Amino acid sequence: MSKTLKGLIRDELSSTLKDLDGGVFITYAGLDSQATFKLRSTFHSEGVKMRVLPNRIAKRAFGQLGFEAEAIGSILVGETAVIYAESPIAAARAVRQRISEGMAIKVKGAFLETEVLDATTAATMADLPTHEELLGQISFCFNAGAQRIAGCFQQTYKQIAGCFLSYSEELEEGGGAAA
């Protein structure tokens, strides 16, 4: 491959990666072409993308983006692909799902912004809430407090209404005069 072509590929890879918050590195060694196609198709149907990385070019592309050369170099060895989506959590969940389905892929690591994560930490990314889920949890916390306050007021009004009802029943039983 010519230097010009390698430069173009590196620049294109850099421009793709700079817009991402993160992704997961996998090794797909042991998958034949049909299994790799099925893996890509499954990822694509979930809005997740898989890109096979030429290691030397990828090291330079990640280096342009400010990643530590030694950390990224330890991951970019052998057959490596990066899995990415709008959310790095979604990518990690998609990888975990494929592994649980028996796909012969392994997590090699991950990246978040300009930090490189090892395989163990990368595997735990799938357990984290996505941005949307986190916003939902926060709004639930705010709403739960408001609902409790509203429930207290509602309960108080029910108690007051119950007191008036029992007082009016006593008045009716006593012949209409106050005791």
147 and 59, same domain (yes or no): no
Same domain, 99 and 177: no
- Same domain for 146 and 79? no
Q: Give start and end residues of each alpha helix (H) in the chain.
A: 3-18, 33-45, 55-64, 69-75, 88-100, 119-124, 131-173
pLDDT of residue 177: 53
- Both 134 and 123 in one domain: the answer is no
Model pLDDT, residue 168? 80
**31 with 114, same domain?**
yes
Range of the structural domain that residue 21 is part of? 3-128
Q: Both 99 and 80 in a single domain?
A: yes
For the chain, which residues score pLDDT lower than 70? 145-146, 157, 175-179
Residue 15: CATH number of its domain = 3.30.70.1730
Count the domains in the chain: 2
Q: Give the pLDDT confidence of 45-69 residue by residue, as tens digits.
A: 989 998 888 888 888 888 888 888 8
Same domain, 96 and 115: yes
Query: Considering the entire predicted model, what is its pTM?
Result: 0.69
CA distance 168 to 163: 9
